[in-house]
Chain A
Amino acid sequence: MRISKAWIVAVRDIKIFSRKRYVWYTLVLFPVLISVLFPVVIQYASDRTGAALIPRIPMLLDAFSIFLIIGAAFVPVSIATYTIVGEKVEKSLEPLLATPLTDGEILLGKTLSAFIPTLIAMSIGGIVYMAGMNIVTYPMLDYYYFPNWNIAAILLILMPAAIVMSVEFSVIVSSRVNDVRSAMNLGIVMFFPFLAIYIASEIGLITLDSYTYLLIAGGIFVVDVALFFLSTKLFKREEILTKWK
């Protein structure tokens, strides 16, 4: 596996989809929504309820932080499906497969092209989110809630793992559909497990502490490994040329 070759593929793919407006919307919109909307919600709630909100703030901030993982799972779907289904539609995979690149190098290149922009966008979103929340909650809490171990786990472990999961799932979806929109619609399935975690925390089924985050991270890694084997099995020259729809 030559990383330099995968990098050539990644750079080309980033160049291609950076000219797609909807990819930019996805990359910018979700991080902006998380980093601006939630601090505004907390500020609004504080203005309405006053001191009654203070004991609930840590729980709310932890719950809202889940949206960083949801974003990490959601954003790369549009990129990953485009880089694979888009090439299927343009039929540009065959000449690429006829080069001395290995299947793994092509797949890694495509994974990197979705992983890197998403990680950058969501990390910036996460930092702005932490800053915004600190500004809004400091007058109530009298201390800066972020950074803490929970958000560190989210930004450094859960978010990258969720991006990998989403990209691998997108590869699998891309091998079975023929247009970008269908691939994206199916890829949105990635959104639901994390939404379920958020709802579970909101209704008190789970507590979002370090132990829970470790469990979630463990779960994502297991899914990552399973999807990795499945996606590498599907992303083979012969499969692509003879069995992909």
Chain B
Amino acid sequence: MIEIESLTKKFDDLTAVDNLTLNVNEGEVFGFLGPNGAGKTTTVRMLCCLISKTSGNARISGYEIGNKEDSLKIRKLIGLVPDNVGLSENLSAYDNLDFFGKIYDLPDVQRKESIQRFLEMLDLWDKRNTPVGTFSKGMKQKLAIARALIHDPQVLFMDEPTANLDPEAAKTVRNFILELKKEKKTIFLNTHNLDEAQRICDRIAILNTKLLSTGTPEDLERAVKGRRTVIELEQVTDATAEAVQKLSPTNLTIEGNKIMFDTSDTEKPNWTVVEAIVLAGGHVNSVNVAGSTLEDVYLKMVEENK
């Protein structure tokens, strides 16, 4: 659906996006992670044909960005939720959506139906005639998403859709994105929120001007070593310590009543070790896997790239 090859954007001497290559599949929710100034918004703007590329290529549904004729076709295929909601505050929710529906040539009946469907879906139908300026941030964000979807785009670009929202509004927006995921919409999600990316995205790319890594959240976690199983016992006896040492887990350390070792499988701790402890008469209080979450991966990669 989205193919990017060596895409680069320079603003005078500043390289905002450097040699970016990645693909986004149809129906996929693709998370784009990176610190401020990493080039996430610039990438989205290039893909939405809002700004030109310096070099490289990118295609959306086979249409080439940077080609004047294809640019108009791409803009028909996509929907954009920018980092600022950018609604006309003096107009009502209905009028905001109606305007965009007209721009995308939606016939009257279809336009009215779409507006009603989205406003009802997002609990804004009762407020349809209220000026948007009186809406809360969460309501505005929901309306901005509805605006981007009014013409049923193939690809939805979302730039920090839950930034600056309270937890409840952020959850509503996230749930709505998950609903769109069920409808197999291709979503390109710029976010700072690692938890959100992990919960929503099928695949994630980490960018800091250059592409640092890409893969499923689980792939990325596996990519960085340092995830450790921590088994807390009532007491570590000689028998339990010996039982664990016999299994030779990697980087075994025993501190107080805790036994720790590297985890090979990020999904679950090593149950063989737990079983050995129990058979040796140990009483297990808890078993946890610590370290190397997506956050650790992200921070490590970004730090290394500085």
- Looking across the interface, which residue of chain B has its beta carbon closest to that of A95? B86
Which of B76, B84, B103 neighbours the largest number of chain A CB atoms within 10 Å of its CB? B103
Q: Which of B49, B50, B52 contacts A94 (CB 8 A)?
A: B50
- Given A15-B91, A94-B84, A100-B75, check contact A242 B51 (CB 8 Å): yes
What are the residues of chain A within 8 A of B144 when measuring CB–CB? 95
Contact yes or no, B87 A237, CB < 8 A: no
| B31 CB within 8 Å of chain A | no
Contact yes or no, B82 A12, CB < 8 A: no
CB distance from B133 to the nearest CB of A (A): 9
Contact yes or no, B103 A99, CB < 8 A: yes
Contact yes or no, B104 A100, CB < 8 A: yes
Contact yes or no, A8 B103, CB < 8 A: yes
- The stretch of A55-63, A85-93, A167-175, A196-204 in contact with B is A85-93
How many residues of B are counted as interface, with CB atoms below 8 angstroms from the partner's CB atoms?
Answer: 31
* C-alpha gap A111/B78 in the complex (Å): 27
What are the residues of chain A within 8 A of B110 when measuring CB–CB? none
Q: Which of B45, B90, B100 contacts A19 (CB 8 A)?
A: B90
* C-alpha gap A50/B177 in the complex (Å): 80
Contact yes or no, A12 B90, CB < 8 A: no
Contact yes or no, B102 A241, CB < 8 A: no
| A5 CB within 8 Å of chain B | yes
Contact yes or no, B75 A90, CB < 8 A: no
Q: Which of A90, A99, A242 contacts B88 (CB 8 A)?
A: A90
Considering only residues 140-161 of chain B, those with a C-beta below 8 Å from chain A are 144, 147-148
* C-alpha gap A93/B85 in the complex (Å): 10
* C-alpha gap A97/B100 in the complex (Å): 11
What are the residues of chain B within 8 A of A15 when measuring CB–CB? 91, 95
Which of A19, A96, A99, A238 neighbours the largest number of chain B CB atoms within 10 Å of its CB? A99
Contact yes or no, A98 B78, CB < 8 A: yes
- Looking across the interface, which residue of chain A has its beta carbon closest to that of B11? A242
CB distance from A187 to the nearest CB of B (A): 21
| B48 CB within 8 Å of chain A | yes
Contact yes or no, A90 B86, CB < 8 A: yes
Contact with B along A1-31 (1 / 0, CB 8 A): 0000100100010011001100000000000
- Given A98-B75, A237-B50, check contact A12 B99 (CB 8 Å): yes
CB distance from A176 to the nearest CB of B (A): 19
What are the residues of chain A within 8 A of B148 when measuring CB–CB? 95
A98-B78, A100-B72, A242-B51 given; 16 more Cβ-contact pairs under 8 Å? A8-B99, A15-B91, A19-B90, A94-B80, A94-B84, A95-B100, A95-B144, A95-B147, A98-B50, A99-B104, A100-B75, A100-B103, A100-B104, A102-B72, A237-B49, A241-B50
29 contacts between A and B (CB under 8 A): A8-B99, A12-B88, A19-B90, A90-B87, A91-B84, A91-B86, A92-B86, A92-B87, A93-B86, A94-B82, A94-B84, A94-B86, A95-B80, A95-B144, A95-B147, A95-B148, A97-B50, A98-B48, A98-B75, A99-B75, A99-B100, A99-B104, A100-B72, A100-B73, A100-B104, A237-B49, A238-B50, A238-B51, A241-B45
The 10 closest A-B pairs by CB, nearest first: A91-B84, A98-B80, A92-B86, A100-B75, A91-B86, A94-B82, A95-B86, A238-B51, A100-B76, A12-B99
